[in-house]
Amino acid sequence: MQSCRTALIYSPLFGNFNYGDDHPFKLQRNRLAFDLLDAYGLLELPNMQIRDCQPASDELLLSFHDSDYIARLKEFSSSEEPRADFMYGLGDAECPVFKGLYECAALGVGATFEAVRLVEEKTVDIAFNLTGGWHHAHRAKASGFSYLNDAVVAINWLVARGRRVLYLDIDAHHGDGVQEAYYDTDQVLTISLHESGIYFYPGTGFEDEAGEGRGKGYSVNVPLLAHTDDAIFMKAFDEVAYPLIAAFNPDIIITQIGADTFRTDPLTNLEITTHSYGEILSKIKRLKIPWVALGGGGYDLLNTARAWTLAWSIMNSVELNPRLPPAFIDKIVPLGYQNRVLLDAMHWADEGERELALAAVEKSIARIKKTIFPGIIGSYGAPS
């Protein structure tokens, strides 16, 4: 693959924040990923740069978020006492309140904005924010470990500049906050491949959630049953996401590339490996559309480090040794990690479970092709 100019957005300041020792969302995964990138020599490539970031301004945040909600976030962030406001989704086990909460969330949005700005201004072709992808945050409510919606804030900035944006979410969880923000517009096409909301958080993301008004057909969801494996995941991408991306022909593509789809993730039930994950990202790279990637979910820290290292290698057209570097192995052995490889073989789920997952995705694909493709693919080129 042809090399291009890339930027990695990384701030060591994220290491200053902690959701809590018992919380599954660990910001330490950023450092683990950074160490693996370093061990592979991926931080000193000829056409790349590492960029720090600043917290997003109030002006940017208020392009989506409610002012009272922002004020409450700031208030709770500076408090020495435990606080809760369930109207705003703050203070439960899912979205705990901790010292510096607002600064952490605003820095995450600032990192995504820096990535989008660099690509929009043509400084780079691809930018990757490891800490981005807080796709569950709503206008005035925290949800799903997410306090501020970095993708929506960044996309709003692009839309204000007249850009058509495609948002692709391959995280195990439905990108409900992003879909909600653009449900009635044809300027942004949202596509989410995720574990089915029938039994899985956040309980949304079904095929009939297809947008309304001018946005009808511009929200696309492919719910996946438990035990969806590499081949089924690629089928969903190839038969739904890929043709829609090509038809929409966006000015910029923003992807949320969570690694919680992986088969050993402790919070999810899909059976994806680096095989399909890498194939999908390689296909996105080959489209040669300006691209911003956001880290997203991932609750097995080593899986997340492996996934993001693979993603960065694909963005930079670098082929890596499938075995982890010895220096990195030396670092993870004391942490109890057993994995010694970067790349997994293609995985097939057990036959009975696989048949159910395949039948479900085929039904979803057929429904999307019947209800969305005929009227929408032909009209993507000319938004109203």
* Active centre residues (catalytic): 136
- Residue 379: what pLDDT? 67
> What are the Cα distances from residue 306, in Å, to 126, 282, 294?
19, 16, 15
Residue-level pLDDT at 2: 52
Q: CA-to-CA distance for 283 and 278, rounded, in angstroms? A: 9
Distance CA 262, CA 303 (A): 7
- Asked if the model's pLDDT at residue 383 lies above 50, the reply is no
CA distance 351 to 167: 33
Using DSSP, state whether 245 is helix, strand or coil.
helix
Non-local (6+) Cβ contacts of 161 within 8 A are 120
Q: Is the pLDDT of residue 198 over 80?
A: yes
Higher-pLDDT residue of 377 and 191 is 191
Looking at residue 72, what is its pLDDT?
Answer: 97
Two structure tokens written together for 50: 């590492």
Could you report the per-residue pLDDT of 277-334, keeping only the tens digit for each? 999 999 999 999 999 999 999 999 999 999 999 999 999 999 999 999 999 999 999 9
- Give Cα 331 distance to the centre of its chain: 27
Please tell me the distance from the alpha carbon of residue 76 to that of residue 58, in angstroms, as a whole number. Answer: 16
Phi/psi of residue 4, each to 5°?
-150, 175
State the pLDDT at residue 380. Answer: 62
Q: Is the pLDDT of residue 15 over 90?
A: no
pLDDT score for 378: 66
For residues 45-67, give the mean pLDDT: 97
Rounded to whole angstroms, how far apart are CA atoms 42 and 262? 23
Q: Give the count of alpha carbons within 13 A of 258, CB side only.
A: 29
Smallest Cα–Cα separation from 154: which of 253, 73, 33, 67? Answer: 253
Strand partners, 350: none
β 252-256/165-169 pair status:
parallel
Share above pLDDT 70 across residues of the chain, in percent, rounded to a whole number: 97
Q: Which strands form 6-9's sheet, in the order they lie side by side?
A: 48-51, 6-9, 126-129, 291-294, 252-256, 165-169, 188-195, 219-224
* Structure-block tokens of residue 230: 């590499």
Q: Which amino acid is at 100?
A: G
* CA gap 113, 102 in Å, rounded: 16
Tell me which fold the domain 8-379 belongs to. Answer: Arginase; Chain A (3.40.800)
Mean per-residue pLDDT, 177-206: 97
CA dist., res. 196 & res. 209, Å (int): 13
Judge whether 111 and 53 are in contact, CB under 8 Å.
Answer: yes
Q: Is the pLDDT of residue 354 over 90?
A: yes
What residue segments make up the domains of the chain, in order of their start? 8-379
Residue 82 above 90 pLDDT?
Answer: no
What would the mean pLDDT of 51-67 be, rounded to a whole number?
97
pLDDT at 382: 47
pLDDT single digits (tens) 129-170: 999 999 999 999 999 999 999 999 999 999 999 999 999 999
Sequence letter at residue 12: P
CA torsion sign for 265, 267, 269, 275 is negative
pLDDT at 81: 85
Reply yes or no on whether the pLDDT at 29 is more than 90.
Answer: yes
Which is higher by pLDDT, 312 or 15? 312
DSSP SS3 for 281? helix
Question: What value does the mean pLDDT of the chain take?
Answer: 95
Determine how many CB atoms are found less than 10 A away from the CB of residue 50. 13
Which spans in the chain are helix H?
A: 28-39, 58-61, 67-78, 101-120, 150-160, 176-181, 230-236, 242-248, 274-286, 301-315, 326-332, 351-371, 373-376
Residue 254 pLDDT > 90:
yes
Q: How far is Cα 132 from Cα 113, in angstroms, rounded to an integer? A: 10
